[in-house]
Amino acid sequence: MEHFGFIGFGLIGGSIARALKKNFPACRITAYNRHIEVLEQAKADGIVDVVLQEIGPAFSDCDLIFLCAPVETNNENLLRVKPYLGANTVLTDVGSVKTPIHQAAAKAGLEGRFIGGHPMAGSERIGYAAAKDSLLQNAYYILTPTEQIPQKTVEEMRDILSALGALPLILSYEEHDRIVAGISHLPHVVAASLVNLVRTADQGSGMMKQVAAGGFKDITRIASSSPEMWEQICLTNGENIKELLDLYIRSLEQARELIDRKEGDRIYSFFDEARTYRNSFVGSASGPILRHFDLTVDIADEPGALAAIATLLALASISIKNIGILHNREYLGGDLRVEFYDEESKEKAAALLTARGYEVHRRAE
């Protein structure tokens, strides 16, 4: 594949395009975006070769087209680009919910040339201006190919993503949507509901908000995410979210019964089982309700990059509690997570790394 098309050119689309140009300098990129000034800037940056003012015949020469608009818009764009697809053009998308786009591809008769995609990387910033060629490095990139797509095509796309530094995983689109409902979508619903509960219960004195500490802030951090985005996710992956939400409500009712009956041993088991399972996660150093003193840092995917940061901090006598690459950065900036023992060490490290030219990200509080 040498000619890539983009419909939508924000953070994800722009980052994929930048990574393609960096790793495949001879490739051609044709792009359409609703705001053409974004593409004009990308062309000036040497990222986009052909700027389009509409979805049309220019896409027919593309080997692979990325649909990079919001989920509901991708469905529309799939139909808009269909008449202009070349004989061997393959379509993919970058949406966080896969069922709607797969249904749209099937309805349009495009199952033989569609591979769903979900790069599990992101940033607190949005738009092409925040795009960077390293965004996909060491991040999971889930592919949900249709049964009709040739295996050779899937392997070719896997090879491209691996060359960009991503970690491709193959799932069915049904499995993908149920997985993300559990590890991403339901937690956002829970975090938002917990914040709203405290907001309602705290009316009057406001003391809950005043004394809210690390534990509450840590488990509700994701409630600060875009409400527009989560409205669309709940509308497009509602069945999976509802199924898991019902199970969660049932588990809360069981916990309530244990507390009501003062069953100490079972209450202990409730927390102990959760702690054991949570601590088994890759890269986990402690339970989720404990306060973390951590930063995420952008680093280049090259030998010695991680060691350079560890050495820099060691020379400054800053102790590191834990350090590791993040594979799922969908709601966090940076691809290297560094955890410290206290707030003072974290802030000292942030100042040092920033002064040395590293881009440092903090958790939203």
Does a structural domain hold residue 288?
Answer: no
Sign of the CA dihedral with 183 first, then 186, 191, and 192 last: positive
Q: Both 22 and 167 in a single domain?
A: yes
**190 and 141 co-located in one domain:** no
Instruction: Note whether 72 and 135 are same-domain residues.
Output: yes
pLDDT value of residue 288: 34
Q: Report the C-alpha gap between 291 and 42 in whole angstroms.
A: 41
How far is Cα 90 from Cα 5, in angstroms, rounded to an integer? 10
DSSP line for 269-289 = HHHHHHHHHHHTSTT--S-TT
- Residue 286 inside a domain? The answer is no
| 315 CB-near residues (< 8 Å, 6+ apart) | none
pLDDT at 7 over 60: yes
How many CA atoms, within 13 angstroms, populate the side-chain half-sphere of residue 171?
A: 19
Is residue 282 predicted with pLDDT exceeding 60?
A: no
* 127 found inside a domain: yes
* For range 334-351, the mean pLDDT: 87
Give every CB contact of residue 240 below 8 A, 6+ residues apart in sequence: 177, 178, 181, 185
Of 171, 192, 214, the one marking the end of a domain is 171
17-31 pLDDT, tens digit each: 999 999 999 999 999
What pLDDT shows up at residue 290?
44
Question: Which of 250, 279, 308 lies at the terminal end of a domain, its last residue?
Answer: 279
**Residue 284 belongs to some domain of the structure:** no
What is the domain count for the chain? Answer: 3
Q: In the chain, what percentage of residues exceed pLDDT 70?
A: 92
Query: Where does a domain end: 225, 244, 279?
Result: 279
Range of the domain at 273: 176-279
Instruction: Kindly state whether residues 262 and 233 are assigned to the same domain.
Output: yes
CB–CB of 234/97 below 8 Å? no
Check: CB of residue 118 under 8 Å from CB of residue 176. yes
Residues 51 and 148 in one domain: yes
pTM, full prediction: 0.76
